[in-house]
Structure 1
Amino acid sequence: MRGPAVVTLRCLFVDFNSYFASVEQFDHEALRGRPVGVVPVMAATTCCIAASREAKLHGVKTGTPVHEALERCPDIAIVQARPARYVELHHQLIAAIQDCIPIDGKPLSIDEVACRLIGRERQRDNAVAIAHKIKQTLIDRGLSPAIRCSIGIAPNTFLAKTASDIEKVDGLTVVELADLPTALHGLGLQDLCGVGPSMLQRLIDAGIETVEQLTAAPREHLRAIWGGIEGERFWAQLRGIEPPSRQRKAVASVGHSHVLDPQLRSAAGMRSVLFKLLAKAAMRLRMEQCKARGLSIHIRFVGKEQRFSRDLSFAPLDDTPTLLQLMAEAIEPLMRAAGNGRWKVKRYPPLSVAVSLIDLQPCAADSASLFPERQRNQALTRVLDQVNQRYGNNRLYFGAMQDALVHGAAPMRIPFQHIPDEASEADLGSAALVADPSMDELWLQRERQFKAMAETAHRQARERSAGSSRPAPAAPAHQPSGVGGWVRKRRTSDDEGGVGTTGSLF
């Protein structure tokens, strides 16, 4: 008799398998049944942002470098990501699910949906029937079998997501309260959401090496390991309790990164993409009704371990012209090095660029500028925003962005945990999207996650080729400024390091 199931099954979690790659297989029949890797740009130096089920059987996964994916699976099809198409299919899939059961709030990401079970839906047989109905609806609408989903049913969202990962290809797994904690003992620590490489090491250092040991650990022990309330939340989730949802934190930073296309791996191409990324970040900053007090710039090179990094601090800003001027001055030493031959661009071409506006504060906390030049820049920025929001993003743009726009560089990206906002992300001429601008923090989380995986993959590849495990140099700490004007840059010679700068690269 399964009496407890009547009251303990509270969440049904839908996870679309290998979503980006599955959409490519859905649209292109020739790709069905064969390994597929999805990449942000068609370049051998980038990483896969998604891999099909067939590719995963060869060890290719998210974050695997393209050259390594080709070594592991020579017949893999490498295709460039099509974000607008993934969003379009996302909304069709959400509509299919909502015809079977209401979604609990907003989708958790572009490929994950949590649904709350209520009343008789909490009975095991009824919950399983809903799961089968979802799968059948996908078949009836012609979306499956190319696009398939795994479904987990459990007492809370955390356990339902975990259950959906147990049988990954078109699976259906039910975990009841009576099954805990035994049902989790066969998993590895990193199979649990929230246990990444750094947390795994902290658990091992604390003497916890298996899920069985983790589920047996007292609440106070997990609080100490996590360093706060998150440890207690994790302890509760392992036991089927649904902790109160966390309030959305204020945005801490806005930024973008981009792996350069081969035709833009020059000093001028790098500069143009940086300008486009910063202009896009500045628009997002204003949409968040914030001003930035810092700017972080990072550039990586092919064949070189050291990066070019600058961290600037200044009085609160949100206007694009001033921010672009500050960045132009910050990268001027690198541009001079390219011009005089100190930076051998053909030998060490730029690989990727990243800009972030940091140390944010609400606009209401800042008074209006009294300087005529700043007032002019702010007025120009308002006009740019009005025109671009009405007629299409980048209908008006700064000339330094021309090369990036011509080559379609730094287009809208869709990490798994965000449905993008067309107004601030899609360039003029892109396919129309149904925008959901409320998930910017989820976008940033996924962006950081992918960048970390890509960085790790590149570092491991370099360490293997060099036969060493030398750690990468730590990024310089950001130093907030005091009152009174903005700091354009710290004056250091090209050969000398300083706070907020790297040392000489060349």
Structure 2
Amino acid sequence: MSLRSLFVDFNSYFASVEQHEDPSLRGRPVGVAPVAAETTSLIAASYEAKAFGVGTGTMVREARRRCPGIQIRVARPERYVVWHHRLMEAIDHAIPVGRVGSIDEVACELVGRQRRREVAEEIAQQVKNEVALAAPGGAIRCSIGIAPNDFLAKTASDMKKPDGLTVIELADLPHALHGLELRDLCGIGPSMEARLHEAGITTVAQLTAADKHRLRHAWGGIEGERMWGLLRGAWLPTAPTERGSIGHSHVLGPELRTPVGARAVLKKLLVKAAMRMRREEMLSGAMAVRIRFIGHDQRWERDLAFDPTDDSRELLRLLNGVLDSGNRRHPLPGPANATPLSVSVTLMRLVPRTQSSGSLFAPTQDTRRVDALVDRINNKFGYNKLYFGSMQLALEHDAAPMRIPFNRVPDTDSENEAGHDPLWLQSLNRFKAIAEGEHRRRERGGKGN
């Protein structure tokens, strides 16, 4: 009875929700984009679209070229969050929901007799039946992996899609993994793959054969030993972590790829982060600002430390200082005349309000009351009903809408934007990395022609 984890992965989740809510899309190729623009990249594609070589990261206009009949839908994070909760409830009818990894993934722990293979497979089938009851019509499906730990169960869930069921037992290891590529394993991205190659590990077979010391060296720390254990089926629950930062990022739409547009979006992102921070009764003592430009691999970045605060106006003043610290002849720092592609701002060095005396120059009580009043109005009547004038351009173009923060399910009552949800953000962040790479690739290609 080595099986301890049942992992549920919803297939092409965003596109599947669109197909479920609009039956005319079922059986047809569908792509989901963050904004209505031909130059943006898809964040999801249905399996009908994938058959034409369209997938996450494909630019909209390229998707239309490869698949002339594709239907493009603008992402609706609020609906994806609603369905996330419905589907978690459906799973809970079959087995208690354990750790929610993202908006379309969840790991459940098998206990007692559930660890028997035949019982675990019965539970997996019950999960599929409950999903079918919650979303009749067959548009929303899931693949399920069963294994000795969450890492291997997630890996198993990816082996057979869509609507698959794969079981990996201890006796199947490590050979069951040898047909995979390194990047198929959770936690191995492009940079980690490059480090493994430098360590002489180019296949999963070589990875599973490596000893603890070699993996520790490749990972540069204890995570290498952790990977060694996970590959062998060790049950290593994820240790709880404390929040160390609050931030937001956004890939700019074509209409906002100007210095003025980028600054407006940065200010909106900062105010969103400050509002979240106040809701969690935290203060920030540092800020990180990042800007990427089309055709430039190197991003512009600045970090700033300051006395702990949660005041939006003080944080905006600090942001303006960072953006104006470069050449004043250019309204935006970074390469001269470069076109901004994406921006991000992160508040760091978070401390509970009760554990910090703040600064001698901290805002007055009246200032805090204004922040509290603005937050209450926006919570009650909708996000950005009251806002700073410097955010106007970003609001006109609906930039940086609701997102999903990491490691939590969105609180739609208090946030008023599904985009604040960590789970949606998690998925969007994966898209942003792909989209930025695609833009840079196309820019370099254009210069070479």
TM-score, normalization: structure 1?
A: 0.79
Aligned to 2:162: 169
Aligned equivalent of 2:227: 234
Q: Deviations over 1:427-474 (max 9, x none)?
A: 5xxxxx7x9x9x85x676555443322222222223333349xxxxxx
Quick check: 280-289 or 397-406, which moved more?
A: 397-406
* C-alpha separation in 2, matches of 1:225 and 1:309: 27
Q: Are 1:401 and 2:382 matched, yes or no?
A: no
Match of 1:475 in 2: none
Alignment of 1:55-70 (within 5 A): 55-70=49-64
Matched, 1:187 2:177: no
RMSD: 3.1
In structure 1, which of residues 286, 292, 296 is the aligned counterpart of residue 284 of structure 2? 292
Secondary structure of the corresponding residue to residue 54 of structure 1: helix
In 2, the alpha carbon distance for the partners of 1:137 and 1:185 equals 33
Question: Secondary structure of the residue that 2:100 maps to in structure 1?
Answer: coil
Q: How does 1:351-500 map to 2 (within 5 A)?
A: 351-371=341-361, 375-414=365-404, 419-422=409-412, 425-427=415-417, 440=422, 446=427, 448-467=429-448
Alignment of 1:31-46 (within 5 A): 31-46=25-40
> Relative to structure 1, is the Cα distance of residues 353 and 425 closer, same or farther in structure 2, using a 3 angstrom cutoff?
farther
Say if 1:266 and 1:229 are closer, same or farther in 2 by CA, change over 3 A.
Answer: closer
Partner Cα distance (1:338, 1:462) in 2: 23
Larger-Rg structure: 1
CA–CA distance in structure 2, aligned partners of residues 392 and 334 of structure 1: 38
Percent identity between the aligned chains? 54
1:325 Cα deviation (Å)? 2.3
Instruction: Give the match's secondary structure for 2:410.
Output: coil
C-alpha displacement at 1:112, in angstroms? 0.8
Alignment of 1:313-352 (within 5 A): 313-331=305-323, 337=330, 350-352=340-342
Structure 1 equivalent of residue 208 of structure 2: 215
CA distance in 1, matches of 2:282, 2:448: 46
Change (3 A) 1:69 1:420: same
Conservation of the 8 A alpha-carbon contact between 2:43 and 2:57: yes
Partners of 2:38 and 2:354 in 1: CA distance: 46
CA contact (8 A) 2:5 2:149 kept: yes
Kept in 1, the 8 Å contact 2:86–2:134? The answer is no
CA–CA distance in 2 between the matches of 1:204 and 1:55? 33
Match of 1:89 in 2: 83
Aligned partners of 1:254 and 1:215: how far apart in 2? Answer: 36
- The answer as to 2:188 corresponding to 1:198 is no
CA contact (8 A) 2:177 2:205 kept: yes
The answer (yes or no) to whether the contact 1:188–1:211 under 8 Å persists in 2 is: yes
Please give the residue correspondences for 1:131-150 in structure 2 after superposition, counting only pairs within 5 Å. Answer: 131-150=124-143
Pick which of 234-243 and 56-65 moved more: 56-65
Gaps of 5+ in 1: 1-6, 428-432, 469-506
Q: 1:334 to 1:134 in 2, by over 3 A?
A: farther
| 1:467-493 per-position Cα deviation (integer Å, ceiling 9, x unaligned) | 49xxxxxxxxxxxxxxxxxxxxxxxxx
Per the alignment, do residues 372 and 202 of structure 1 end up closer, same or farther by CA in structure 2, a change over 3 Å counting? closer
Cα distance change on mapping 1:404 and 1:462 into 2, 3 Å:
closer
For 1:255 and 1:322, how far apart are their aligned partners in 2? 17
Q: Hey, what does 2:267 align to over in structure 1? A: 275
Asked whether the 8 Å contact 1:280–1:425 carries over to 2, the reply is no
Instruction: Label 1:463 to 1:407 Cα distance change in 2 as closer, same or farther (>3 A).
Output: closer
Q: Is the 8 A contact 1:35 1:55 kept in 2?
A: yes
User: What is the CA-CA distance between 1:117 and the residue it aligns to?
Assistant: 1.5
Question: Structure 1 residues 371, 133: closer, same or farther in 2, change over 3 A?
Answer: closer
How far is the alpha carbon of 1:392 from its aligned partner? 3.5
- How far does the alpha carbon of each residue in 1:15-50 deviate from its partner, in whole angstroms, 9 at most, with x for none? 100100111111122322222221111122322111
Q: Which deviates further from its counterpart, 269-278 or 46-55?
A: 269-278
- Say whether residues 1:124 and 2:105 are aligned partners: no
Contact kept, 8 Å, 2:403 with 2:424, in 1: the verdict is no
Whether contact under 8 Å (1:417, 1:446) holds in the other structure is no
How is 1:147-158 mapped onto 2 (pairs within 5 angstroms)?
147-158=140-151
Alpha carbons of structure 1 residues 336 and 57: separation in structure 2 relative to 1, 3 Å: same
Alpha-carbon offset, residue 149 of structure 1: 0.5
**Structure 1 residue 8 corresponds to structure 2 residue 2:** yes
CA contact (8 A) 2:49 2:55 kept: yes
> Which amino acid is 1:254 matched to?
I
1:361-410: CA deviation from partner (whole Å, max 9, x where unpaired): 44344324444865543332233223333444333222333343344322
> Residues 456 and 343 from structure 1, CA distance in 2 versus in 1: closer, same or farther, beyond 3 angstroms?
closer
After TM superposition, the structure 1 = structure 2 runs for residues 73-112 of structure 1, keeping only pairs within 5 Å, are 73-104=67-98, 106-112=99-105
Map Cα deviations across residues 325-351 of structure 1 (whole Å, 9 max, x no partner).
232344457896469xx987xxx6654
Q: CA deviation at 1:412?
A: 0.4
Q: Which runs of 5+ in 2 are unaligned?
A: none
The count of corresponding residues between Structure 1 and Structure 2 is 446
Report the CA distance shift for 1:10/1:372 in structure 2 as closer, same or farther (over 3 A): closer
The answer as to whether partners of 2:294 and 2:443 remain within 8 angstroms in 1 is: no
Whether the 8 Å contact between 2:244 and 2:349 is mirrored in structure 1 is: yes
Structure-2 separation of matches of 1:300 and 1:185? 37
Cα pair 1:415 1:447 within 8 Å, conserved: no
Q: Quote the residue 2:18 is aligned against.
A: 24
In the TM superposition, what is the alpha-carbon distance from 1:422 to its structure 2 partner? Answer: 2.8
Change (3 A) 1:144 1:223: farther
Cα pair distance change 1:180/1:306, threshold 3 Å: closer
CA shift in 2, pair 1:409/1:179, >3 Å = same
Amino acid at match of 2:20: F
Alignment check: 8 A CA contact 1:294 1:312 kept: yes
Equivalent residue number for residue 253 of structure 1: 245
TM-score, normalisation: structure 2: 0.88
> For residues 443 and 38 of structure 1, do their structure 2 counterparts lie closer, same or farther at Cα, with a shift above 3 Å needed?
closer
Query: Which region of structure 1 is more displaced relative to structure 2, 28-37 or 390-399?
Result: 390-399
Tell me if structure 1 keeps the 8 A contact 2:247–2:344: yes
> Is contact 2:379–2:415 with CA below 8 Å preserved after alignment?
no
